[in-house]
Amino acid sequence: MDKFMDNKWFIRIVALFLALLLYISVSIENGNKEKDTRQKNENDVVQNMPVEVIYDQQNFVVTGVPETVDVTIDGPKGFVRTTKNLKNFTVYIDLTDAELGKQRVKLKLKDLSDKLTAKISPAYVTVTVQEKVTKEFRVDAEFNSNLLASGFEAETPSVEPKTVKITGAKDVIDQITYVKATVDSKRKISSTITRDAKVQVLDKSLNKLNVDVDPETVEVTVPVKIPSKTVPITVNPIGDEKEGIVINSITTIPKNIKIYGRSDVLKSIDALSVDVDISKYDKDTELDVPIKVPKGINKLEPEIVKVRISTSEKKEEKTFSNIKVSSTGLPDDYTMEFLSPKNGEVDLTVNGTTKSLKDISASSFDILMDLSGLSPGVHEVNLKVDRPKDITWELSKKKAKIRLTEKESGDI
């Protein structure tokens, strides 16, 4: 074996074999590298890359620059993916030496890996460089009345500070028509509120303008009140009086009531009424009655009033005709003749409650004249009425005119 290995041809053959093996190995490795390189190169789009603008921000304003652009990058797969994920490069526009006015400029890249190539879309943009202007504007507060609770009203809102400084391009500043701060609320408002509100700058078409506002928010106070009015309380009787009963008066305590609500609703109300069913009462009564709240009114003071009912029995009048007048005290030796009224009859008018007159008739009364002590001749005698209690009366004649005649001796 040693002799065989010492043979020079053996060594030459082994060396040749090793050289061939090494050549084949290197060739395969290079081929694989080329194949891997071809396989790993790719391109992708990095979307919404912000655009940085380099310019003199103290003196100029630039408009027309897109907020973002898309960048297509190409290169090894690993670099492409890392760059897309990290976005570790910058898209910018350099306007350091730009002149005032409108101009077309190219977008540029920096900090992008040298192993990548890139294409920006769009590659060029048209921008406008203008002088920066700052002006002071008054802020108007806006408040949606639909946010108010029912019956409440808002007075003129106040703003603090009253003015703001607005900075922007001169032609944009010239377009400013409205500077507003709008107050918002998630709940219905029933008291004065103070809110921080963002300032909005709008043109005449209510388009929002691209400007800087200092301060960006203001404090808005909206005074909220509930209008009130004092009106009289009136009584609305319902039903009919009980038989024999008269409702003399119905009064309320208090006589006036304070109502709260929107001004337009208050204007239409001159009084509030309470309903009282008079068919239920036959004597003096005091009761508590709630007042109905009219539509659009959200508060009453007081909500309940006292109602006093004054009653009495109903009065009636009756007239009885041709009631005979009776006499007392006529001596037996005298005769009496009625001169007036004729036939010795009068009419009697009586007044009393329905109850007291219910069973009264002409026979319930005696109309008398006292002839005691009178001498023969013509006399006027007062008439008296004997009547039931609680009744007043009036005769058609208060006196009777009579003639007394002495009887002849044969008539006695």
Quick one: pLDDT band at residue 365, thresholds 50, 70, 90? confident
Structure confidence at residue 17 (pLDDT): 74
Whether residue 353 is predicted with pLDDT greater than 70 in this model: the reply is: yes
**For 30-87, how does the pLDDT look when each residue is reduced to its tens digit (9 = 90+)?**
555 555 545 568 999 999 999 999 998 888 888 889 999 999 999 999 999 999 999 9
Structure confidence at residue 352 (pLDDT): 84
Q: Are strands 399-406 and 377-382 parallel, antiparallel or unpaired?
A: antiparallel
**231-239 mean pLDDT:** 92
Query: Helix/strand/coil (H, E, C) string of the chain?
Result: CHHHHHCHHHHHHHHHHHHHHHHHHHHHHHHHHHHHHHHHEEEEEEEEEEEEEECCCCCEEEECCCCEEEEEEEEEHHHHHHHHHHCCCEEEEECCCCCCEEEEEECEEECCCCCCEEEEECCEEEEEEEEEEEEEEECEEEECHHHECCCCEECCCEEECCEEEEEEEHHHHCCCCEEEEEECCCCCECCCEEEEEEEEEECCCCCECCCEEECCEEEEEECEECCEEEEEEEEEEECCCCCCEEEEEEEEECCEEEEEECHHHHHCCCCEEEEEEHHHCCCCEEEEEECCCCCCEEEEECCEEEEEEEEEECEEEEEEEEEEEEEECCCCCEEEEEEECHHHEEEEEEEEECCCCCCCCHHHCEEEEECCCCCCEEEEEECEEECCCCCEEEECCCEEEEEEEECCCCCC
1-130 and 228-313 agree in CATH topology = yes
Q: Which CATH number does 315-406 carry?
A: 2.170.120.30
Contacts for 199 with CB less than 8 Å, ≥ 6 apart: 139, 164, 179, 180, 181, 213, 215, 216, 217, 218
Which of these, 151, 143, 139, 71, lies nearest to 108 by C-alpha position? 71
Quickly name the fold that domain 228-313 has. RNA Polymerase Alpha Subunit; Chain A, domain 2 (2.170.120)
Structure confidence at residue 410 (pLDDT): 53
What dihedral do alpha carbons 172, 176, 180, 186 form, nearest 10°? -50
- Mention the CATH class of domain 1-130: mainly beta
**400 against 187, higher pLDDT:** 400
Contacts for 210 with CB less than 8 Å, ≥ 6 apart: 63, 168, 172
**For 121-155, how does the pLDDT look when each residue is reduced to its tens digit (9 = 90+)?**
999 999 999 988 999 999 999 888 888 887 788 88
Give me the residue label for tokens 């992008």. 112
Cα 68 from chain centre: 46
- Mention the CATH class of domain 139-225: mainly beta
Dmax (CA) for the chain in angstroms is 222
Whether residue 176 is predicted with pLDDT greater than 70 in this model: the reply is: yes
**96 against 35, higher pLDDT:** 96
**145-172 mean pLDDT:** 87
Whether residue 90 is predicted with pLDDT greater than 90 in this model: the reply is: yes
Q: What are phi and psi of 172, to 5 degrees?
A: -75, -45
Cα separation, 248 vs 372, whole angstroms: 47
Least confident range of 38-42, 226-230, 328-332, 377-381: 38-42
Q: Where are the domains of the chain?
A: 1-130, 139-225, 228-313, 315-406
Cα separation, 265 vs 147, whole angstroms: 18
